[in-house]
Amino acid sequence: MKLLSTILSVGTVLAAAVALSCYILYPQATSLVLGTALGFAVFLLAWIAVEHKKILQFMQKKTTLRGANKGFAVFLIFGILFFVNVMAKDYNWRKDITKMSLNTLSPQTLKVLNELPISVKLVFFTGAQTRDKADATFRLFKHASRKFTYEIVDPSRSPTLAKSLDIKRLDNGVITAEGSQKQVRVDGSSEEKITNAIIKLLKTKSQTVYFTVGHGEHSINEMAAADGLGVLKSELEKESFQVKELNLFATGSIPADADILIVGGPKSTFFPKELELLSNWMKAGGNVLFALDLDIRESGLSQGAKQIAGILRDLHSVSVMDQMLVDPTSKAANVEPQVLMGFANTQHAITKDFPSSKMGLVANFLFPLTTYIQHNDRGDETFTSLAHTSPNAWAEGDWVELKKGIARFHEGKDFKGQMDLAIAVESKKDPAKGRVVVLGTASIAGNGVIKAASNRDLLLNSVAWLGSQEQSISIRAKEEKDDGLSGNPNAINFVFLLAVFVAPLMLVVAGIMVWRRRLKQ
């Protein structure tokens, strides 16, 4: 009987070792794994049947019961730790303590990642010096979405892969979608570039935006001048819009591929035929963004802006005024009073993601040399303010003084109070067609101002809304961020104290309590 017990004991241990080895080394061999597991079960049951009396006696001992209690406690602790680890993998929590949210993705990026219909993979080529920086950014993307994966490759170690993807320099990559042959190149590892690449990858159709020319409009080909729209053009192209110029007089028509029309600060007059083309296109459901400029020499709106204002008044009962706005509180933003601080109205899709303050303390935009906009509700359209002034602003109509650089409030003559700087108009019958956005100045889109405050997001969101691409409306990543924890000393001190003093002290206290309890026993 003793020999049989020894044979079964050794056989059980060996069977367990063989079963575990097969499971680890040959997991794909299901029959082998199941067979060895069955053998282990047979040996174990046979050993229990032979030694059941000794097993029962052993289980009834006080030392066994105490050991079982301690073993259960250890098992319970490890079980809790395992459960917490598993939960943390899928439901982890992070707190970004950096001054400029270095470890937080922008709302636009999070929106894109949360709405990913398919898995995407980034293969990025970089060297050892910049690998850690790129990896830190990519991990934020992966943490935000399981559908985003990435691989960082050293081209010197994988030259074949680099050549197959036509990678010719470092800090370049390719992003692909699952089940698709489409590839989008990524030039750089910044959040903005990765997000734009994903947007391009998922877009099935690129919309075309036309900027009118021939009337002194701000040029989309000008990058150096402060009032040029070259940066705006570049930003639109990053979001997969095709950007073209349109000379209405030369073409005599609006192209069939035009999805959105932008009239950016016309100075000289339009020909009657051009105005007719614009008017008819809007009546047919065309979507337009109008940015109209004041002209100090004309003591109000420029000639071209006046004509456009006439179309807006006739078709939509929108009035673009002739006065220049002044706001002394602009000095708080370190700008002159003729550069208006704009506050977002979060009741519209274009501006819903912008931060707001009931106290009016959060200025979202800068509107240089702007006028204001009014409208009359006719019942068939919806008018929504996108941005407004502070209550301290007034409409200055004394152009003689303005030409001298003087801006003074004239009691009883100048209107003072909150005024609309930008509005959106849509039809109640068919909200997706005939959409119009009107801005009180085109200077908001100029190269020198577009990246100030959230001007860029207002413009890009407006274009996305005009093109019925509400999924692209959000707050985009900033190009430059703080590169460390500087600027938030309280958070740094808290983490330091927690890691260096509090945690070790808690362990010491726990050890003393356990030691004293054992002494009493």
Q: Which fold has domain 107-201?
A: Glutaredoxin (3.40.30)
Residue 365's pLDDT is: 94
pLDDT bracket for residue 203 (50, 70, 90)? confident
CA dihedral 475, 234, 305, 334 (to 10 degrees): 60
Label residue 521 by pLDDT band (50, 70, 90): low
Which strand (E) or helix (H) includes residue 414? none
Q: At residue 158, what is the residue type?
A: S
- Predicted TM-score (pTM) above 0.85: no
User: Residue ranges per domain, the chain?
Assistant: 2-90, 107-201, 208-468, 488-521
Query: Can you give the pLDDT at residue 485?
Result: 40
Task: Say which residue, 247 or 494, is predicted with more confidence.
Answer: 247
Residue 505 has pLDDT above 80, yes or no: no
Tally the C-alpha atoms within 13 A of residue 161's C-alpha that lie toward its C-beta.
15
pLDDT of residue 518: 66
Residues 437, 290 contacting (CB under 8 angstroms): yes
* Helix, strand, or coil (residue 101): coil
Kindly tell me the burial class for residue 60, based on how many C-beta atoms sit within 10 Å of its own C-beta (0-12, 13-18, 19 or more).
Answer: exposed
Beta-carbon contacts of residue 208 (< 8 Å; ≥ 6 apart): 241, 242, 243, 244, 255, 257, 258, 259, 260
Structure-block tokens of residue 62: 């006080």
- Give bridge partners of residue 209 from the DSSP assignment: 243, 260
Beta strands in 89-171 (DSSP E): 120-125, 148-153
φ/ψ (deg, to 5) at 434: 70, 30
Q: Distance (Å, rounded) from C-alpha 447 to C-alpha 444?
A: 9
- Asked if 211 and 264 touch (Cβ cutoff 8 Å), the reply is yes
Q: Which two tokens stand for residue 142?
A: 């992966």
- The two tokens of residue 322 are 């002739």
The mean predicted confidence, pLDDT, of the chain is 86
d(CA 304, CA 278): 13
Q: Using CA atoms, how far apart are residues 285 and 353, in angstroms rounded to an integer?
A: 27
Interatomic CA distance for residues 181 and 176, integer angstroms: 7
Alpha-carbon dihedral sign for residues 280, 284, 289, 294: positive
CA 330 to chain centre: 28
Q: What is the mean pLDDT of residues 450-479?
A: 90
Query: Which one-letter amino acid corresponds to residue 501?
Result: F
Q: Which residues contact 286 (CB under 8 A, 6 or more apart)?
A: 254, 258, 261, 434
pLDDT band at 228 (very low <50, low <70, confident <90, very high): very high
486 has pLDDT over 50? no
> Is the CB of residue 209 less than 8 Å from the CB of residue 259?
yes
Mean pLDDT along residues 56-84: 71
Query: In this structure, what token pair is assigned to residue 111?
Result: 């929106």
pLDDT of residue 442: 97
Reported as a single tens digit per residue, the pLDDT across 32-46 is 888 888 888 888 888
> Looking at this protein, which amino acid is placed at residue 308?
I
Rounded Cα distance, 37 and 31, in Å: 10
The mean pLDDT value for 212-221 works out to 97
Sign of CA dihedral 121, 127, 133, 136: positive
Which pLDDT tens digit goes with each residue over 354-412? 987 654 556 899 999 999 999 998 889 999 999 999 999 999 999 999 888 888 999 88
Residues 141-178: tens digit of each pLDDT: 999 999 999 999 999 999 999 999 999 899 999 999 99
pLDDT tens digits for range 45-61: 887 887 777 777 777 77
Half-sphere exposure of 445 (CA within 13 A, CB side): 35
**92 within 8 A of 146, measured Cβ to Cβ:** no
Q: Distance of alpha carbon 125 from its chain centroid, rounded?
A: 24
Q: Strand runs (DSSP E) across 74-160, as ranges?
A: 120-125, 148-153
What is the mean predicted confidence (pLDDT) over 18-30? 79
Please state, in angstroms and rounded to a whole number, the distance separating the CA atoms of residues 309 and 317.
10
Q: Please report the pLDDT score of residue 498 as a whole number.
A: 60
Say what the pLDDT of residue 352 is: 92
- The answer to whether the CB of 338 falls within 8 A of the CB of 369 is yes
- Which of 4-8, 18-22, 354-358, 485-489 is least confident? 485-489
Contact 350, 444 (CB under 8 A): no
Report which residue type is found at 368: P
Report the largest interatomic distance among the alpha carbons of the chain, rounded to a whole angstrom. Answer: 119
| Stretch among 49-53, 113-117, 128-132, 468-472 having the lowest mean pLDDT | 49-53
- What is the identity of the amino acid at 516? R
Could you tell me if 453 and 476 are in contact, meaning their C-beta atoms sit under 8 angstroms apart?
Answer: no
444 alpha-carbon distance from chain centroid: 22
pLDDT at 89 > cutoff 90: no
pLDDT value of residue 501: 59
Task: Yes or no: say if 296 and 244 are a contact pair by the CB < 8 Å rule.
Answer: no
Question: 7 versus 511: which is more confidently predicted?
Answer: 7
Q: Which residue has the tokens 């260096």?
A: 500
Q: What is the pLDDT of residues 278-305, one digit of tens each?
A: 999 999 999 999 999 999 999 999 999 9
pLDDT at 500: 57
**Bridge-based pairing state of the strands 318-320 and 373-375:** antiparallel
**What value does the mean pLDDT take over residues 226-238?**
95
Residue 25: per-residue pLDDT: 77
SS3 content of the chain, % helix, strand, coil (to 5): 45, 15, 40
What are the backbone angles phi and psi of residue 90, rounded to the nearest 5°?
-100, -25
pLDDT of residue 483: 41
Q: The tokens 């691989």 sit on which residue?
A: 151
- Assigned superfamily of 208-468: Class I glutamine amidotransferase (GATase) domain (3.40.50.880)
Residue (of 137, 113, 104) closest to 199 by Cα position:
113
CB atoms within 10 A of CB 127: 12
